[in-house]
Amino acid sequence: AKAALRGHSHTLSAGIHFDRYKLNTSTYLISDWLELETQGALSAASRGRTQTKAIWVQDLIELNDSLSLTIGARQEWWRASNG
């Protein structure tokens, strides 16, 4: 959205963000790195899920022809589970 308040041009932007990730990684010992067919003992296992939700808003204010000011805010909610 665009507006002019007290002689300054404003451009208002807003949005949302959402993502999910799933991690399922295993690391094994190996006696000969050239022979990848031989799998050794499990040395590490990483599992879990993450989720991020966010909302944001910003205002671009044109103060004059060569100077602008951007003001914004973002709120995030992050969650990890099963790991």
Q: Cβ(39)–Cβ(30) under 8 Å?
A: yes
Q: What are phi and psi of 67, to 5 degrees?
A: -140, 130
**Closest Cα to residue 19, out of 48, 43, 58, 54?**
54
Q: Which two tokens stand for residue 77?
A: 């909610």
What's the one-letter identity of residue 5? L
* Number of residues written out for the chain: 83
**pTM of this prediction exceeds 0.85:** no
Q: Which two tokens stand for residue 40?
A: 């050794």
Q: Which residue has the tokens 């665009």?
A: 2
Q: pLDDT digits over 18-67, tens only?
A: 999 999 998 888 877 777 677 788 899 999 999 999 999 999 999 888 99
